[in-house]
Structure 1
Amino acid sequence: MKEKKYGFRAAVCLSLLLTVVLIALMVGSYHISPFQIVQTLLGSGSKLQNFTVFQIRLPRIVLAVIVASALGVSGGILQGITRNPLAEPGMIGINAGAALFVVLWISAGTTDYYSTLPVLTILGMPLLAMTGSLLSVGLIYLLSSKSGIRPVRFILTGIGVNGGILAVISFYQLSMSKGDYNQVLTWTNGSLWGSNWNYILLTAPLVILLIGAVLFRSKNLDVLALGDELAAGVGLSVPKERLLFLLLATFLAALATSVAGSIAFLGLLGPQIAKRLTGPVHGKMLPMAALISSILLVGADVIAKNLFSPLEIPVGIVVSIVGVPYFIYLMIKER
């Protein structure tokens, strides 16, 4: 794709994201006008406006962008290494493994919502999420092949492991208190309800570092997407590179899940839409996937907060309402 066309489309998507962000800052139980938003961001807002923007809405928006970027890039990687447009972290057990460990961690000895968890518990969440995701991916890897990752078998095994982990979480729900049940419901459906700056400071540097590492090696991902024989023919170590990208995708999905629960289909929608706009070159497609996923998640969160206000529905449900039909469309198209 020509640089001018790519730049124009990226600028349009960035403008859409800024528009959705402005809407997210404005709407809610307390409405703030665009002029008041600008005043508040420049330091001239009232006490109530400052609290609403900087302590409630802005952290939620920033965390949504971090989570969406991580899931969008993770899904783009998985679709590249498996050469399957249906691959995404919520479908093959990566998110579920992370969610299981985080749910067990936050419900151990506390009945608080995760916005009021102790700092030590918050700090442990990404580590536990990564551990859960790695164990899940390790199990999938062991079950799917003895001589490396076979894309089709890997995805089918992942779907089975994902179902098994979700069954474990459901079984765990049978013997928990009402407070713990609400937490599990949050993590299995995905929610940005408890967002605060602690989660952002903890996850943002790691997500940026991992995405940077992916983009640095994106040309190898382009080669892997062409097929094993061609990749090996140009001197690429296929098993090593595929495993490396799988680990990067796992870490990104785990970080997103550790602070927002399991949001399915976002890692499917972002990369697929981005590929239609940029083509298959991952150096361009992955940043666009992060941008589009951010638009989708911030927009979905606005709907989740305000559709049945004051009742808030998990944002993962809103994303799935869009994702499921698109997933079915891709399945039909791939036949």
Structure 2
Amino acid sequence: MNVRKMKRVKVTTFAALFLLIIIFVVSVATGFASLTPSELFRTIIGQGTPRENLILFEFRLPRIFVAILAGMGLAVSGAILQSITKNPLSDPGILGINAGAGLMVVVYIMFFTVESSSFLYVLPLFALAGGMATAAVIYVMSYIKGEGVEPTRLVLVGVGLAAALYGATLTLSTRLDMEDYSFMANWMAGRIWGDDWTFVLSLLPWILLLVPYTMFKSNVLNTLNLHENVSIGVGVNVGRERILLIIVAVALASASVAVSGGIAFVGLMSPHIARSLVGPRHQSFLPVAALIGAILLLAADTIGRVILDPSGIPAGIIVTIIGAPYFMYLLAKK
């Protein structure tokens, strides 16, 4: 990479980080119970009133951090899927991985209680099982021996399977009691329901482990973006690396949606925007994609809270309003 490109990557990364900080400050200060800049600063340095401490540290910050972490997880998951399948339309939501995770979420709720102490830590494992099963079916039905995954078939299988899984989830949801059904309805709408520090702690290990691992595998992802025969020729164990990275992508998506709700299109848009800004090398665009994913989801959640307080509009709906036209544009272009 020449000096000019390196400078562009650094400037773009710092600009994305700066924008995320701005949205973070706006999100912290706005809502049903807003905080003025002076109140916010006073609370951060430990001199806030009990009311200000409650708003900031118990209500506002946990939800913001869940949005940031989930946005990063979905963005990196989408980047992995797009690179492995060589399909610019790949996204854990569009391909049905989120729907598979959601089906297992409702299965968990049917047999266990959402009030149990282990709920927040066991739920991502159930979501992971559903996401992995869905990914396996999609991969098998889209793979052509000697050519790899066929992009058009991948999208068609994923969209069809997502519709079937969402239908199954809705059917099972009708058998829940009123409280659990309300929870599941909010989950499917993409409402960020994680508003406690425990939610942050349940998601944080997945992001801290799997996102750096993906960055470490940047060269492998660069190679897998090429034709399968070329990847084999340069010494990459294509089968093993592809399976490992698919597991990472599904784990990131499943863990993210388990605590944030069924949110689509973040994993589609973030990698595209990042590539257009810094180029296709994974070393360059993966960090930018993660930051853009955090920006998109946090901004969507903030907008939803501000537009319709106190109940708010689910972040998933705000993202879909932006993402659906973007998906149609890419579909027509590619």
Q: Same fold (TM over 0.5)?
A: yes
SS of the residue 2:111 aligns to: coil
Matches within 5 A, 1:182-331: 182-331=182-331
Identify unmatched segments of 5+ residues in structure 1.
Answer: none
Q: Within 1, Cα distance between the matches of 2:229 and 2:112?
A: 52
SS of the residue 1:236 aligns to: coil
Q: Within 1, Cα distance between the matches of 2:205 and 2:173?
A: 33
Contact preservation (8 Å) 2:266, 2:293: yes
Alignment correspondent of 2:97: 94
Contact preservation (8 Å) 1:103, 1:187: no
Question: Normalization by structure 2: what TM-score?
Answer: 0.94
1:156-212 deviation per Cα after TM superposition (whole angstroms, max 9, x unaligned) = 222222111111012123333322221221221212134211111121022110111
Q: Within 1, Cα distance between the matches of 2:138 and 2:332?
A: 26
Paired letter, 2:310: P
Contact preservation (8 Å) 1:22, 1:34: no
Structure 1 position 75, deviation (Å): 0.3
Alignment correspondent of 1:38: 41
Equivalent of residue 132 in structure 1, options 113, 125, 130: 130
SS of the residue 1:223 aligns to: helix
Matched, 1:21 2:27: no
Structure 1 position 146, deviation (Å): 7.2
SS of the residue 1:68 aligns to: helix
Matches within 5 A, 1:143-182: 143-145=141-143, 147=145, 149-152=148-151, 153-182=153-182
Structure 1 position 270, deviation (Å): 0.8
Identify unmatched segments of 5+ residues in structure 2.
Answer: none
Q: How many residues get paired? A: 329
Equivalent of residue 12 in structure 1, options 12, 15, 20: 15
Structure 1 position 56, deviation (Å): 0.6
SS of the residue 2:40 aligns to: helix
Larger deviation: 86-95 or 239-248?
239-248
Structure 1 position 103, deviation (Å): 2.1
Q: Within 2, Cα distance between the matches of 1:292 and 1:122?
A: 26
SS of the residue 1:119 aligns to: coil
Q: Within 2, Cα distance between the matches of 1:211 and 1:193?
A: 23
Q: Within 2, Cα distance between the matches of 1:136 and 1:34?
A: 46
Contact preservation (8 Å) 2:76, 2:286: yes
